[in-house]
Chains A and B, each alone.
Chain A
C-alpha cells in the first residue's frame, strides 16, 4: 500500500481532468483543468495518471508520503523542494519525474509569473469517477471529491511505482500572451461598429473577482444597442459575455450551463488555457477575427 497526505493546501486545491462532458443538458458544467496544455504535457512523463490531477493556483500544496513510495511530476512554472525523510532538502523542477519515499514531503511554494499548476501521480489517486469525470466543480458540489482538498486528505494508491527511472521533458515555458484573437460570438450583431471598435482598441484589466467560472475584465464599457438580457441559451468556455455594466466576462471551465447575457466574441480552446494563466491586474487586448 502506498499513500500520500495533504499537509498544506495552498490555494484553490482541487482534482481536475480534461473535463466532464455529455451532461451539460442536465445542468452539469464541463469543468476540467483551467490550463489543459499542462496536463497534456504531464501525460508524457506520467502516462498512467488515470486522469486524476491535482490543480492549484498561485500557492501550491505540500504533499507527504505516508506509506510506501510514489512517483509524481509537477507541471506549470513553480518553485518547489523536497523535504527528505532524513532531513535534507532538495530543490526540484517541474516537468521532471520525482520519486518520493515514505516520509518525504514535496513542497510547492508558488507559481512563477502564472496562476495554475498541476501534480500528476503515477496510478492516479485511487478515486472513483463522478458522472464519468474526476473533475471537481466546487460551486455545484460535483466531483470524485466534491469540494476543495483540505489538510489530512489522504489518497491510497494501490499499485506500486512502475519504474524509478527519471523521465523529463523540456519545460514548455509558455510565453505569456496578452493579445487574444477572438471570433464573432452569437450576439455580435447586438453591438454597434462603434462598440466593437472600443472592444478591440482598448485594454482590459483582469479583475481579482476572476475564478474557475469566469475571468472578469475591467475597462472601456461596451454597451449593446439591443439588450443585455437575452433568453438563456447554452454557453461554452471561452465565450465573452457582456452584462449590462458593459464589463466583459470570459467564461471559463466551471461555467453555468446556460446564460442570459449577449456574447460578443469567443476564444479558441488553446487561448482559454493561455488566459487562465494571467493573474489579476494583467492587461489584455482583443483582436477580432472576421473568418469563423
Chain B
C-alpha cells in the first residue's frame, strides 16, 4: 500500500507524511515495514490477507487525522560540529562556487534549525533541510568511494550526516564527534523523522573532548536534545 501526499518534497508535505507515519505506527497493526520518504509512505503487510483486512482501517485513520490532535514526540537537537579543514573535504569547492568565506559558510550552516525529512540511504542517515539558499550546491560529479564516518554533507537543498564510512556524492563540510546509529540499542537511530536538528561549531580540541566521552544513544539524548 502506498500513501501519496503530493508531487513535491516540501516541508509542509513532509510534516503531513511524518504525522501519518506516527499515527500508523501507533495503530499496532501486523505490518512488516512502514517506510516514509519525502512525499510518500509505503506500507508492507505480512501477506495479502492482512493487507485486505487493514487497508480500510488505515484509510479511515488517515481521513481522521486532524493537525491539532497530533501529539509530536519529536526531539529538538543541538549537535556539535567541527568544520575544521581536516574534516571539511569540500569546503573550498563551496567557497569558490558561492564566492564566500569559510566563516560565512559555517555561520550559515549552523544558523538554521533543520527538519528531519526521513531516514534512509543507509542505517540512521538523516535527510535534513532546508539549508540556506546561499549554500545550495549540486552533488559531487564523481561520488567519493569512502566518506569518513560521522561526516556532515550538503547536496542540493539538504544536509546530512553519514553514520558510518560509506561511498557517497554529498559535499563534505565537517564532522560530528559521535555515532548516530547504535545496533546494540533497541532504538538504534539517534534521529527520527520529524526531529529538528541544528549544529553549533566547535574547535578541534572541543571536538576531541566530546569524542573521548564515547556517548551512548541514551546519553546523547540527555546531553544534546530537548
Residues of A within 8 A of B (CB): 19, 21-28, 30, 130-131, 140-142, 146, 186, 231-236, 256-258
Contact = CB atoms under 8 A, between A and B. Distances in A.
A27 B160 CA distance: 13
B122 A27 contact: yes
Contact of B189 (A27, A232, A234): A27
A140 B122 contact: yes
A130 B185 CA distance: 9
Question: In this complex, which of B21, B41, B120, B164 has the most chain A Cβ atoms within 10 angstroms of its Cβ?
Answer: B120
B174 interface: no
Given A131-B183, A141-B164, A257-B35, A27 B120 contact: yes
Nearest to A235: B42
Contacts of A256: 120-122
8 contacts: A22-B32, A25-B34, A27-B121, A30-B32, A146-B183, A231-B9, A257-B35, A258-B118
A26 B188 contact: yes
B105 to A, nearest CB: 26
Nearest to B125: A27
B193 interface: yes
Given A231-B9, A234-B37, A25 B32 contact: no
Question: In this complex, which of A22, A28, A140, A234 has the most chain B Cβ atoms within 10 angstroms of its Cβ?
Answer: A234
Interface string B25-54: 000000011111111111010000000000
Interface in B75-114: none
A-B pairs, 8 with minimum CB distance = A234-B35, A234-B42, A24-B33, A258-B120, A26-B189, A27-B123, A21-B32, A233-B37
Instruction: State the majority secondary structure of interface residues on A.
Output: loop
Contacts of A186: 2
B129 interface: no
A25 B183 contact: no
B220 to A, nearest CB: 15
Contact of B21 (A25, A28, A231, A258): A25
Interface string B1-20: 01000010100000000000
B78 to A, nearest CB: 22
A130 B186 CA distance: 9
B183 A232 contact: no
Contacts of B118: 25, 258
B124 interface: yes
Nearest to B40: A233
B119 interface: yes
Contacts of A130: 183
